[in-house]
Structure 1
Amino acid sequence: MVGLVLAAAIVAPLQTDARPRRQLAPGTGTANPSVLVAEEIAFARMAREKGQWKAFREFADETALMFVPQEVVAQDWLKKQAEPTAPLQWDAHRIWMSCDGTLGVTKGAWTRPDGTVGWYTTIWKRQKKGEYRWVLDHGDTLATALPEPDMLTAKVAQCGRKPDVAAPATPPADARTFTGGNSQDGTLRWNVTVLGGNDARSVSVQLWNGTKFDTIVQDNVVPPQ
């Protein structure tokens, strides 16, 4: 599997340095997807060098949610976990970002030390000092590994005309968890739904194209009963 460092190298148009550069204040046209590439690299490096769960804690927002497989408050769950002998490995395949750079999404593949493979979607929120921390980590196993892309791709929401403020979505009647968020400029938004009956969950992400929202991620997982 191509490592994150190699993945960064094949997206030269997106970044030339593995370390995040000084970021402009959020605003129209300030999105920089290469910063998320750098965050993924630093995240994976810490997992290798200092421990998988320590890295997850360090890179998680205080409000972050993850699935284990049920939804949990990440910081509360992570601090109770013993470190595995060897960490998970992962590669980002695609990146999306709001026009103002306050919210981003990475999607890719992971591999456990035992050879189990799967996919993931991570939603990243920009912090006050310009760094990004993840607010949602979602994924599942696969029977076979995702094919590696020729190169990591990135897409930024259309700047200019801002989207209209949408009415809040109505959660399903049997939803146990229903939450989400959006970028400060409203050009990238997400929500997660977990049903109470069978723990089925879905994560939906939409990106503004200038006239409407395109669904760029629609993850649906029904855990085995």
Structure 2
Amino acid sequence: MRRLLLAGLVLTTLAGCAPQGPEARKRPLSANPSGFIAAEIAFARLAQEKGQWTAFRETAAPDAVMFVPQRVNARDWLKAQKDPAEAVRWQPHKVFVSCDGNNGVTTGAWQKGPAQGFFTTVWSRDPMKGDMRWLLDSGDALATPRSAPDFIESKQATCTGKPGATVTAAAEGDDMMVGMSRDQTLNWTSVVRPDGSRSITVRLWDGHDMTTVIDDRIAAPKQP
């Protein structure tokens, strides 16, 4: 019930913040962390209403990536996927947003039957239209589920100072990809190793440093 009330509040907030008139529609939208929460909740609801992989297909950006466990272009991989009889359920617990509000990262918990785990999703927002598309989706199972918070944590990058891009090099054989918001106040690094293990690291500008806010470490899949 708490999550349903939150979803309604988020959507009401979005409606109240919508620009009015043709001139207003030409202006870039202001930063709105709750918009990324609303997008994640809508994504999860779509999976229940239309099917798991259908929801992923309909909300993915053209260059979105997934891990199976190696990195793949999501739209290409999803073309051959049929919706399972039971779709995974998930809920956002935290959201981290760039200063300009055009990129956000949500992380939370998922459940499917007796299994549970966590996920991290990187989102991109069209600054003029407000359309949300996910750019990266990753997750893994957990032996102990993440506890649901009373309130979804929201944190936006500081808009003062001059963030610098972190330069890192991949180890030999690793598949590394770095993404960042246009204003460089939010970045995400994904590394996939030859054995299928991977890491997802998200950093947020705090006015002085790029602080790590998510550091997912996912083990290689067990061999049959």
Query: Residue 45 of structure 1: CA displacement?
Result: 1.8
Extract unaligned runs of 5+ from structure 1: none
- Aligned-residue offset at 1:169: 2.0
1:78 corresponds to: 78
Aligned pair 1:33/2:56, yes or no?
no
CA 33–98 in structure 1, closer or farther in 2 if over 3 Å, else same: same
Matches within 5 A, 1:117-132: 117-127=116-126, 129-132=129-132
Q: Within 5 Å, which residues of 2 pair with 1:174-185? A: 174-175=173-174, 177-185=175-183
Structure 1 residues 49, 148: closer, same or farther in 2, change over 3 A? same
Q: Structure 1 81/145 Cα, relative in aligned 2: closer, same or farther at 3 Å?
A: same
Change (3 A) 1:70 1:163: same
> Does the CA-based 8 Å contact 2:60-2:133 persist in structure 1?
yes
Aligned structure 1 segments of 4 or more residues deviating by more than 4 angstroms: 18-21
1:120 partner amino acid: F
Q: Is the 8 A contact 2:201 2:215 kept in 1?
A: yes
Against the structure 1 CA distance between its residues 202 and 191, is the aligned structure 2 distance closer, same or farther, given a 3 Å change threshold? Answer: same
Q: Map 1:123-142 onto structure 2 (within 5 A).
A: 123-127=122-126, 129-142=129-142
**Aligned equivalents of 2:153, 2:119: Cα separation in 1:** 16
SS of equivalent to 2:12: coil
| Residue of 178, 184, 187 corresponding to 2:185 | 187
Inter-partner Cα distance in structure 1 for 2:192 and 2:178: 12
> Does the aligned pair in 1 maintain the 2:41–2:92 contact within 8 Å?
no
Give the % identical residues: 42
Counterpart mapping for 1:136-215 below 5 A: 136-166=136-166, 168-175=167-174, 177-196=175-194, 198-215=195-212
* 1:19, distance to aligned residue in structure 2 (A): 5.6
Is the contact made by 1:4 and 1:40 (CA closer than 8 Å) also made in structure 2? no
TM-score (normalised: structure 1): 0.87
Partner SS, residue 147 of structure 1: coil
1:44 counterpart residue number: 44
Aligned twin of 1:22: 18
Where is the helix percentage greater, Structure 1 or Structure 2? 2
Q: 2:102 & 2:95 partners in 1: Cα distance? A: 14
Matched residue SS, 2:147: coil
Note the alpha carbon deviations across 1:33-80, whole angstroms, 9 max, x for none. Answer: 110111112212211111111110111111111122332211011111
C-alpha distance in 1 between matches for 2:13 and 2:78: 26
Q: Which amino acid aligns with 2:81?
A: Q
Q: What is the root-mean-square deviation of aligned Cα atoms in Å? A: 2.0
Question: Is the CA contact 1:4–1:92 (under 8 Å) kept in the aligned structure 2?
Answer: no
Cα 1:19–1:55 change in 2 (3 A) is farther
Distance 2:79 2:164 in 1: 40
What is the TM-score normalised by the length of structure 2?
Answer: 0.87
- How many angstroms apart in 1 are the aligned matches of 2:181 and 2:202? 11
